Amino acid sequence: MWDTLWTDIHVATADPALISDQDGYGCIHNAATGIENGRISWIGAARDLPDAPQNLAHKIHSGNGLWMTPGLVDAHTHVIYAGDRSLEFAERLNGVSYAEIARKGGGIISTVNATRNVSEDELFDVTARRVRRMIAEGTTTLEMKSGYGLTLQDELKQLRVARAIGTALPVRVHATFLGAHALPPEFKDRQDDYVSHLITDILPQAVEEKLIDSIDGFCENIAFTPDQIERLFIAANDLKIPVRLHSEQLSNSGGTKLAARYGALSTDHLEYVVEDDVIDLAHAGTVAMLLPGAFYFIRETRMPPVDLFRKHNVPMGLATDCNPGTSPSVSLTGIMNMACTLFRMTPEETFSAVTRIGAQALGLQNVTGSLATGQAADMLLWDIAGPHELSYWIGGRRPVQRVFDGKLDPVI
């Protein structure tokens, strides 16, 4: 017998086998879902159940006509940090430039200093508070980057917190090493030396402690060059660790071509990519991870070329980019709305972007991100008219019930 059977539900599966031009959500109406050992063991129309519900499962839950979706996948976050930068928001609104804020001790380095100055336990506590809010908004899988430590001790501290969050809270965590996020003060004007330090000193220790699921970098004229990032990617390849990249956010610096050449799981931001870059992504099977929260918050004007991604069948993901400086967001449904209004994505595209394509961007498409036999039973129940409503509300639309790894969870 199955452990659990859900009945009286409508399901938006995000299953590619069920998605069509007529139904971009992969819907099953009047459905049922069986769960065993944390996995989906059966899903389909309730009329097709092989026996009466009471003969199929130890426990039966009625969804009371609610909509069930996969748990949401937030595939790009910088949620592990200490400190606060809310005052910078007001300064920027008053015309103070990012460079001026940085010169006064603000900006990313202020977050680096704050993160360095707390213990691992303190960093866990402040991070867990944010992650609980994400969980309440429907996130069941969460990518968590380092990149606010920039020393051996503090990068490992962030990555250990990521692992601890995945153990302590009901969320599936993918930990990303982002040592190549910014140049720390100790290495001023010595980018090449810092990249060597990442490769020689920090990366081996993080790998030894099994703290890394992927490696990321920031390829931009204010950060690291393609040649410097490539050194990091070569090291990642040698260690058989997948890569991803922040690229083409502020200029076209060549990062997207580099990421495609190394088969990156995703390239992220992409406001300045051109069609040739998009073709490379298509050939590589790399996800274009779009981040409308940052676009909105810093009032960017150049949009990523969504039409080109469609033209070349590049999968588009969405994520909160939760960070203290440019995207203080914990709501993926709010991001879905931004993607529709700012980037002109369709509701169907945004739904796939935070479910199956988000999972693909983490290499987890065979684990989570869709509701199909064999997938993890990470599921949400919503009091909505249909899945199109998820991208309609400007935030404030939370699931009413949550199932993680097959277990019914209270919504935090």
Chain segment 115-141, per-residue pLDDT in tens = 999 999 999 999 999 999 999 999 999
The reported pLDDT for the residue numbered 325 is: 94
The amino acid that residue 242 corresponds to is P
312 is in an annotated binding site: no
Question: Is residue 85 a known part of a binding site?
Answer: yes
pLDDT tens sequence across 20-72:
999 999 999 999 999 999 999 999 999 999 999 999 999 999 999 999 999 99
**What local confidence, expressed as pLDDT, does residue 367 receive?**
99
φ and ψ at residue 64, rounded to 5 degrees: 50, 40
Task: Say which residues have a Cβ less than 8 Å from residue 153's Cβ, sequence separation at least 6.
Answer: none
| 272 pLDDT tier (thresholds 50, 70, 90) | very high
Does residue 102 register a pLDDT over 90? no
Does the annotation flag 76 for ligand binding? Answer: yes
pLDDT (mean) for 286-309: 97
d(CA 159, CA 110): 19
> Running DSSP on this structure, what letter comes out for residue 260?
H
Residue-range domains of the chain with CATH: 2-70+371-409 (2.30.40.10), 72-360 (3.20.20.140)
- Length of the chain in terms of residues written: 412
Lowest mean pLDDT among 85-89, 104-108, 320-324, 380-384: 104-108
147-157, pLDDT tens digit by residue? 999 999 999 99
* Residue pair 128/168 in contact by the 8 Å Cβ criterion: yes
Please tell me the predicted confidence (pLDDT) of residue 260.
Answer: 99
Asked if the model's pLDDT at residue 286 lies above 80, the reply is yes
Q: Is 360 annotated as a binding residue?
A: no
* 345-404 per-position pLDDT tens digit: 999 999 999 999 999 999 999 999 999 999 999 999 999 999 999 999 997 789 999 999
Q: Is 78 annotated as a binding residue?
A: yes
81 annotated ligand-binding residue: no
Please tell me the distance from the alpha carbon of residue 11 to that of residue 65, in angstroms, as a whole number.
10
The reply to whether 133 sits in an annotated binding site is: no
Q: Which two tokens stand for residue 232?
A: 């990091």
- The verdict on whether residue 148 carries a ligand-binding annotation is yes
- pLDDT higher than threshold 70 for residue 412: no
Residue 203 vs residues 68, 177, 223, 343: alpha-carbon distances, Å: 40, 8, 19, 36
pLDDT score, position 104: 80
Proportion of the chain above pLDDT 90, given as a percent: 93
pLDDT digits (tens, 9 = 90+) for 12-34: 999 999 999 999 999 999 999 99
The pair of three-digit structure tokens given for residue 168, joined into one six-digit string: 């302590």
The dihedrals phi and psi of 339, each to the nearest 5 degrees, come to -65, -35
Confidence label for 411 from pLDDT (cuts 50, 70 and 90): low
Q: How confident is the model at residue 338 (pLDDT cuts 50, 70, 90)?
A: very high
The reply, when asked if residue 181 is annotated as ligand binding, is yes
More confident residue, 222 or 352: 352
pLDDT of the residue at 98 = 73
